[in-house]
């Protein structure tokens, strides 16, 4: 049974791992998208200013595909592609965005590409056609596609979530083991003695969550009484079962242990461990 419980626990950890990593990846992708939109809006504002336009609006940046974004303006404009590329590159570097991307300037009226280029972290691999030619006054849409984006699973945020997952797993394991111990204790054989619970295997009495320790001999004697409540048990039987069976013969030891048991049971007046003169003892339960 314990084996199956351990397997279920491992499955639970796996499910939590998958869910945590999924949330982490989604969060990281959302962060990337938010940073990109801010950088593009910053670039859009600077493009308008470079065109001597301080009144037109930069429309909300849209995500139009996987790592692909669209930047639009509230009015027509004319601009130098070299300036546009420089502005976007600076904004992306300031935001620590990937250095490999493609830019396309698309005419609004017919969706034709008026200008495109590809920027690579290795400058000699960048493609910058038609430098120095100013695009005429018109409505344009700028689309940016990031290339060769590194997997987000290795970011610091993912590692942080894995660390949190590890801590959660340890806590789950701790509480699981603790619950096992509690279940084991609660399932251990116990006997009701008035308001006490008697746990022979653990050598203790429990009353109102208070534990009272018993010596091995006290436990053996009490177990005999519990097995036959309200019945007289002779001194000879108690002595034989507790001492003589172990090859030890005692004199007044039995009376000493009976006295100790009386003190430990004295908080419950419904329990009496009485002496039957000349015969033995009896555990009286009301």
Q: Which sequence spans correspond to the domains of the chain?
A: 2-153, 215-285
CATH, domain 215-285, list 1.10.10.10, 3.40.50.300, 1.20.120.1200, 1.20.58.1030: 1.10.10.10
* pTM for the predicted model, two decimal places: 0.46
Instruction: Give the pLDDT score at 2.
Output: 46
CB 24 within 8 A of CB 157: yes
User: Tokens 């670039």 map to which residue?
Assistant: 43
pLDDT score recorded for residue 1: 45
User: Mean pLDDT in each 10-residue stretch from start to end of the chain (286 residues)?
Assistant: 49 56 58 91 93 91 93 91 92 92 94 91 73 83 88 59 76 76 63 89 88 91 92 90 68 85 91 91 90
Tokens 């036959």 locate to: 228
């Amino acid at each position: 049974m314990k084996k199956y419980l351990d397997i279920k626990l491992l499955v639970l950890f796996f499910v939590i791992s998958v869910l945590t990593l999924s949330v982490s990846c989604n969060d990281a992708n959302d962060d990337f998208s938010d940073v990109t939109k801010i950088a593009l809006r910053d670039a859009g504002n600077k493009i308008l200013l470079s065109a001597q336009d301080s009144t037109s609006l930069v429309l909300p940046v849209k995500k139009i595909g996987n790592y692909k974004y669209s930047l639009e303006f509230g009015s027509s404009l004319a601009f130098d592609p070299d300036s546009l590329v420089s502005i976007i590159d600076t904004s992306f570097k300031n935001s620590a965005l990937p250095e490999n991307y493609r830019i396309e300037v698309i005419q609004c009226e017919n969706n034709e590409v008026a200008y495109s280029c590809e920027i690579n972290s290795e400058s000699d691999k960048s493609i910058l056609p038609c430098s120095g030619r100013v695009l005429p006054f018109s409505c344009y849409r700028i689309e940016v596609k990031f290339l060769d984006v590194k997997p987000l699973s290795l970011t610091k945020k993912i590692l942080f979530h894995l660390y949190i997952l590890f801590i959660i797993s340890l806590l789950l394991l701790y509480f699981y083991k603790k619950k096992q111990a509690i279940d084991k204790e609660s399932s251990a054989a116990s006997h009701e003695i008035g308001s006490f619970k008697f746990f022979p295997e653990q050598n203790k009495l429990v009353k109102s969550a208070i534990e009272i320790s018993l010596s091995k001999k006290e436990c053996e004697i009490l177990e005999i009484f519990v097995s036959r409540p309200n019945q007289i048990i002779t001194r000879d039987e108690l002595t034989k079962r507790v001492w003589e069976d172990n090859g030890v013969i005692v004199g007044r030891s039995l009376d000493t242990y009976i006295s100790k048991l009386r003190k430990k049971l004295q908080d419950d007046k419904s329990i009496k461990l009485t002496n039957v003169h000349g015969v033995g003892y009896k555990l009286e339960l009301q």
